Amino acid sequence: MWLIRLVARLPLDMDPEVRADLLQRTADLLAGWPGEVWRIPGGWTVVARVESADPHALVAGLPLGPWLDVTVEPLVRL
C-alpha cells in the first residue's frame, strides 16, 4: 500500500482551456485509481492511498505529470 501526494504547479501563463483540459483528464484518471483519492481544498493537491505493484506507473500516466511535485511513500499497517 502506498501514500501518494500530488501537488500541481501549473504555469500562471498557461492557456485556461489547456489548463482545464489537463485538470479534467487527470481527475478522470484519478477516479479510476485502485484506492482512495482525496483533494485538499484551496488548491490542486491530491493525496491517495492506493494498492499497486507499481505506484510510479500510476503517476507517470497522468496528463499533469510534467507539472506535478510527487511524493510516494510505502504504508505499513500497525
Sequence ranges of the domains in the chain: 2-74
Residue 20, Cα to own-chain centre: how many angstroms?
A: 15
Q: Name the phi and psi angles at 38, rounded to 5.
A: -130, 140
Residue 45 is predicted with a pLDDT of 94
Q: What 3-state class would DSSP assign to 38? A: strand
For 21-69, write each residue's pLDDT tens digit: 999 999 999 999 999 999 999 888 999 999 999 999 999 989 998 999 9
User: Buried b vs exposed e over 15-32: b needs ≥16 C-beta within 10 Å?
Assistant: eeeebeebeeebbeebee
Residue 44 is predicted with a pLDDT of 86
When pLDDT is cut at 50, 70 and 90, the band that residue 7 belongs to is very high
Residue 73 is predicted with a pLDDT of 96
For residues 13-20, average pLDDT: 94
CATH no. for 2-74:
3.30.70.1060
Q: Name 72's bridge partners.
A: 4
